[in-house]
């Protein structure tokens, strides 16, 4: 029973890692109209959250050293619930401020999750990396697919619908609470591993891969519904297409770590996943309304696999929860700061060029960079 509760708590915590981000994207046009934001300002909502994913993630080892990894995860879930509620209140200050709080919470949970997996499942890292990353993308799929229908079903506007993301966060905190009450050895995350990690060249390859694959992901998360809307797709259909992409990610997130986890090198998996991501970008660029479901499936499998491989590489390269959490903090903090450039850059390129051609070509260039740094990070 304890093991079932542990796994259920891990899965529900992971389900909360993306809805606060993914649920905003289908509502972005409505938010921009209501608050009076430009396309760059609308992209900045996602950018604020992703910047916090980077800047605030570095504090997670300090929290883990004081609280332990289990209590740190609980704190992140409670902070997330507070952030999404504040974000739904009136005015741009609270919109961006709440987004920053929610982004900080996700940063804490992002960084500590590999350490949690290493702590509770040291002999089954590949399996439970697959489990929690798959739950992560399922959470994103549910949030993006239900955002517009929830407005219709509940009669709420974008504020009420976005605030509903607090409910699963609070449920996750309740389910994870028993793990924080048990007295058992908990890894104490020290600052000492940082010195060795920062001097290791592989750390920076992993960080670059984490950052660029996150950039290509958050660009599509922020702007795909808008791209489809401007191509003539209905708002509800655009949300479903983004949800389909997120559901397709489950294939990549579950399959890639299971297949690559026991291997010394993950280079073939990284290159294959990046090629799928680039193909999805190319399909959206050349024929957004011709077989859009196919482009979303290809894109989703590629992005899901690259995310899971990045987290698997982080978890495998650390010998214990202390090292894993330290490496996770470096790779995800710096990586997400890099990723934060994507949504606002694409919004600015769309605003200046008047079309989506230049932004999507820029995304393809980043896919090429992802292939290079991924090859360096995934070598044996």
pLDDT tens column, 162-209: 999 999 999 999 999 998 886 555 544 444 566 778 888 889 999 999
Query: Has this prediction a pTM greater than 0.85?
Result: no
pLDDT tens column, 224-240: 888 998 888 887 788 78
pLDDT of residue 192: 52
147 close to 23: Cβ distance less than 8 angstroms: yes
pLDDT band at 123 (very low <50, low <70, confident <90, very high): confident
**Beta carbons within 8 Å of 373's beta carbon, 6+ residues apart:** 205, 208, 209, 212
Which of the pair, 355 or 243, is modelled with greater confidence? 355
Pair of tokens at residue 11? 């899965």
**Beta carbons within 8 Å of 58's beta carbon, 6+ residues apart:** 329, 330, 333
350 close to 227: Cβ distance less than 8 angstroms: no
pLDDT tens column, 49-86: 877 877 888 888 888 878 888 999 999 999 999 999 99
**Beta carbons within 8 Å of 289's beta carbon, 6+ residues apart:** 228, 231, 232, 233
The residue among 345, 271, 270 whose CA lies nearest residue 309 is 270
Secondary structure in 3-state letters for 285-344: HHCCCCCHHHHHHHHHHHHHHHHHHHHHHHHHHCCCHHHHHHHHHHHHHHHHHHHCHHHH
Pair of tokens at residue 111? 């960084």
Which of the pair, 374 or 323, is modelled with greater confidence? 374
pLDDT of residue 186: 52
Residue 185 within any structural domain of the chain:
no
Tell me, what CATH number does 303's domain have? 1.20.1250.20
Residue 337 within any structural domain of the chain:
yes
Residue 351 within any structural domain of the chain:
yes
Q: How many domains does the chain have?
A: 1
pLDDT band at 275 (very low <50, low <70, confident <90, very high): very high
Residue 295 within any structural domain of the chain:
yes
Question: Domain residues for 282?
Answer: 2-179+193-378
Pair of tokens at residue 310? 């990045």
Please state, rounded to an integer, the average pLDDT across all residues of the chain. 86
Residue 184 within any structural domain of the chain:
no
Residue 235 within any structural domain of the chain:
yes
pLDDT of residue 109: 94
Whether the per-residue pLDDT at 102 is higher than 60: the answer is yes
Which of the pair, 39 or 98, is modelled with greater confidence? 98
Task: Work out the angle between the directed axes of helices 92-120 and 292-317 (0-180°, nearest 10).
Answer: 60
CA atoms within 13 A on the CB side of 247: 13
């Amino acid at each position: 029973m304890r093991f079932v509760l542990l796994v259920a708590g891990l899965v529900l915590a992971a389900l909360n890692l993306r809805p606060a981000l993914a649920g905003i994207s289908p509502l972005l046009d409505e938010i921009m109209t209501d608050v009076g934001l430009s396309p760059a300002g609308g992209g900045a909502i996602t950018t604020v959250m992703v910047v916090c994913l980077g800047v605030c993630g570095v504090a997670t080892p300090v929290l883990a050293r004081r609280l332990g990894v289990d209590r740190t995860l609980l704190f992140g879930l409670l902070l997330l619930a507070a952030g999404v509620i504040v974000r739904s209140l009136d005015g741009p200050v609270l919109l961006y401020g709440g987004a920053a709080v929610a982004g900080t919470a996700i940063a804490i949970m992002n960084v500590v999750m590999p350490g949690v997996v290493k702590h509770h499942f040291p002999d089954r890292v590949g399996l439970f990396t697959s489990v929690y990353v798959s739950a992560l993308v399922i959470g994103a799929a549910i949030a993006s697919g239900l955002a517009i229908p929830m407005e219709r079903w509940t009669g709420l506007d974008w504020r009420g619908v976005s605030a509903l993301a607090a409910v699963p966060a609070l449920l996750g905190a309740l389910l994870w609470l028993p793990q924080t009450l048990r007295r058992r050895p908990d890894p104490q995350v020290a600052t000492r591993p940082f010195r060795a990690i920062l001097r290791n060249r592989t750390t920076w390859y992993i960080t670059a891969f984490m950052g660029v694959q996150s950039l290509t992901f958050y660009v599509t998360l922020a702007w795909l519904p808008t791209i489809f809307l401007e191509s003539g797709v209905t708002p509800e259909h655009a949300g479903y297409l983004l949800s389909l992409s997120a559901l397709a990610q489950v294939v990549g997130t579950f399959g890639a770590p299971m297949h690559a986890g026991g291997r010394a090198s993950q280079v073939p998996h990284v290159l294959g996943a990046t090629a799928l991501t680039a193909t999805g970008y190319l399909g959206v660029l050349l024929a957004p309304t011709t077989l859009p479901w196919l482009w979303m499936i290809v894109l989703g499998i590629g992005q899901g696999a690259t995310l899971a491989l990045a987290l698997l590489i982080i978890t495998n390269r650390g010998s214990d929860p202390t090292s894993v959490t330290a490496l996770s903090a470096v790779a995800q903090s710096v990586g997400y700061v890099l990723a934060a450039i994507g949504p606002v850059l694409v919004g600015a390129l769309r605003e200046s060029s008047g079309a989506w051609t230049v932004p999507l070509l820029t995304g393809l260039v980043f896919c090429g960079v992802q292939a290079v740094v991924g090859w360096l990070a995934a070598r044996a």
